[in-house]
Amino acid sequence: MKEILDLIRKEITDAFVACGYDEKYGRVSLSNRSDLCEYQCNGAMAAAKEYKKAPIAIATEVSEKLQDNPMFESVIACPPGFLNLILAPGYVTDYVNAMAEDDRKGVDKVAEPKTVIVDYGGPNVAKPLHVGHLRSAVIGESVKRIGKFMGDNMIGDVHLGDWGLQMGLIITELRLRQPDLCYFDPDYTGEYPSEPPFTISELEEIYPTASAKSKEDAAYKEEAMTATFELQQGNRGYQALLKHILDVSVSDLKKNYENLNVSFELWKGESDAQPYIPDMVEKMKKDGYAYVSDGALVVDVKEDTDTKEIPPCMILKSDGASLYDTTDLATLIWRMEDYHPASVIYLADKRQELHFVQVFRCARKTGIVPDTTELKFIGFGTMNGKDGKPFKTREGGVMRLETLVSEINEKMYEKIMDNKTMEEDEARKTAQIVALSAIKYGDLSNQASKDYIFDIDRFTSFEGNTGPYILYTIVRMKSILHKYEESGKKVADAKILTAASESEKSLMLELAKFNSAMRGAYEENAPHRICAYIYDLANAFNHFYHETKIMTEEDEKKQAGYIRLLELTKEVLEICIDLLGFSAPERM
């Protein structure tokens, strides 16, 4: 379906042209004075200079041309030259009825679907997920779902950190504790054990211990760096240990991501890029892009138009070890070879912007990606506590993500039990659903690039711009629909009737903005656009609900029309929250 704004714009543009004015002046926007009109056109103000006429004269001409147009209830020219537009209730009703009959509720898929890889994980293996991983996972999952809904082939990659110094640290500490393991015997030629020599709990203790030692003991750190280098050079025992680390870590990571309703199509890591590095390095040297600077291999990526210094992209350190730059470039090679994506989107802290500028420029300069492939960095802001500083535990440490989820689950459980409407088991399950909406909506309702305050009390509130408020609105609709069905009535063939009140028309107008909201969220990779839309839609419904006696309406046709409108609103809201990555319970 065409967006309602485009349909309005066409009528206004045709009227400008019919009056002898250029079509460019027929632009229409939502009214910034909803007390005066629903849509507005300011084209007459801009046309006045070109046509040497008073803007009010132009606006009056155009308004007169539209007086008999069935789309509008009124088109009024207002000084100094605005066109104030109010849609005819019947026209809006026809539009939302067409939405109700469409499986996608009026949202067309993109005309030319493309393959998009979204890199939105980035956790390091052998370490638990913490709150710093939340934004990447939540925003990336929603961006992926929005793209898939619009018809693109979306591929999410977790892109594990499994190849840097942390691997050398784990190997070094493990060798210190269990030196007799066969992985450390250079003469061992047999098969390595299938069972790992550690549990996830032990692994999560080994890494921070090793990291702390390396900061105090230079010899220990040197040993870890050597282990890292040997791993990267193909040490057989270390490669087997890496496989164990990955198996144990990934199993735990999957469980934690599932609790967030986040999934990945690919569970690749930096280690998967290693086979591509030698040939990549040689090609960069051969083509004259890479050169040695202070012992390191680098590629210049600065451009004449730069207003600030952009350092060279470092390909190899002086000891021959690879870096994030190296693995990100090599990862792009296999992504291009295996998937030929039209776009690759990266989610990371906005403070990493320089890294991505260097990698993107190097990838283009050296021919790793063609000019036709979009490389996009979505840099997100910091999740802060009420003190405005990065979110911490009460003791001041970095909070584990599962701890945060558990705390919010518990808070929602207490609220639900206070209502005394559910048994404990149902309350626990419902609390998990509602808590997830609080976490995700609390994050996604903010523009990704901005820092925000993670306020548990506000995010878990059933009032205001929160996930639980959206879910409560949906649950209210489900309750009404259940009551309607229990009364023996069916709404299958019912039509939405022409609005009989301002609140009913306002709800229809909000519904009519659905495809526009989806297009904006898709084109801008902006889940916050969906949050803003559903908050307005939920408010419009609740206003309509409080003003309308739905279940006590005696006119059955009128009541069925109300129910059909309610059903459409619920379906649109459910599509939207699924794209945000959460769902609604049956009751709250």
Q: What is the pLDDT of residues 61-74, one digit of tens each?
A: 999 999 999 999 99
Given the DSSP bridges, would you call strands 290-293 and 452-453 parallel, antiparallel or unpaired?
unpaired
Same domain flag for 498 and 518 = yes
Torsion of CA 356, 363, 246, 345, to 10 degrees: 50
User: If you average pLDDT over residues 557-586, what whole number do you get?
Assistant: 97
More confident residue, 69 or 492: 69
pLDDT of residue 177: 96
For the stretch 297-339, pLDDT in tens is: 999 999 999 999 999 999 999 988 889 999 999 999 999 999 9
CB 563 within 8 A of CB 480: yes
Residue 504 included in any domain: yes
pLDDT at 490: 81
Mark whether 476 and 567 lie in a shared domain: yes
Q: What is the pTM of this model?
A: 0.94
Whether residue 153 has pLDDT greater than 80: yes
Q: Where among 209, 238, 259 does a domain terminate?
A: 259
The pLDDT score that the predictor gives to residue 320 is 85
Residue where a domain terminates, one of 340, 355, 383: 383
Considering the domain architecture, whether residues 152 and 280 belong to the same structural domain is answered as yes
Is residue 96 included in any domain, yes or no? Answer: no
CA atoms within 13 A on the CB side of 134: 27
The percentage of residues in the chain with a pLDDT greater than 90, rounded to a whole number, is 90
Residue 67 lies in a domain: yes
pLDDT value, residue 155? 98
Q: Is the pLDDT of residue 163 over 90?
A: no
Listed residues 225, 259, 293: the one ending a domain: 259
pLDDT per position as a tens digit, 176-230: 999 999 999 999 999 999 999 999 999 999 999 999 999 999 999 999 999 998 9
- pLDDT of 233 > 90? The answer is no
pLDDT, mean over the chain: 95
3-class DSSP state of 70: coil
pLDDT at 354: 97
Q: Are residues 495 and 353 in the same domain?
A: no
pLDDT at residue number 421: 82
Residue 221 lies in a domain: yes
As a whole number of angstroms, the distance between CA 525 and CA 12 comes to: 30
Radius of gyration of the chain (CA): 29
Residues 278 and 146 occupy one common structural domain = yes
Going by the DSSP 8-state scheme, the letter that residue 213 receives in this structure is: H
> Is there a domain that residue 375 lies in?
yes
Q: What is the pLDDT of residues 88-145, one digit of tens each?
A: 999 999 999 999 999 999 999 999 999 999 999 999 998 889 999 999 999 999 999 9
How many alpha carbons lie under 13 Å from residue 177 in its C-beta half-sphere?
A: 15
Does residue 112 fall inside a structural domain? Answer: no
- The number of distinct structural domains making up the chain is 5
- Give the C-alpha distances (Å, rounded to integers) separating 283 from 254, 276, 287, 368, 517: 37, 11, 6, 10, 45
pLDDT of residue 102: 97
Q: In Å, what is the CA distance from 271 to each residue of 111, 277, 516?
A: 37, 10, 42
Per-residue confidence (pLDDT) for residue 391, from 0 to 100 = 86
Torsion of CA 267, 270, 276, 281, to 10 degrees: 160
Q: What secondary structure does DSSP assign to 447-471, as a single string?
A: -TTS-EE--HHHHT-SSSSSHHHHH
Statement to judge: residues 479 and 558 lie in one domain: yes
Range of the structural domain that residue 566 is part of: 467-580
Both 290 and 254 in a single domain?
no
Do 363 and 417 share a domain, yes or no?
no
Q: What is the tens place of the pLDDT at every residue in 422-447?
A: 999 999 999 999 999 999 999 999 99
| pLDDT value at 492 more than 80 | no
Q: What are phi and psi of 322, to 5 degrees?
A: -90, 165
Confidence at residue 264, expressed as pLDDT on a 0 to 100 scale: 98
Give the per-residue pLDDT at 398: 82
Exposure string of 15-35, with b = 16+ CB inside 10 Å and e = fewer, is: bbeebebeeebbbbeebeeee
Q: Do residues 495 and 571 both lie within one domain?
A: yes
The reply to whether 355 and 410 lie within a common domain is no
Q: In angstroms, rounded to a whole number, what is the distance separating the alpha carbons of residues 437 and 541?
A: 19
- We report the CATH number of the domain holding residue 484 as 1.10.730.10
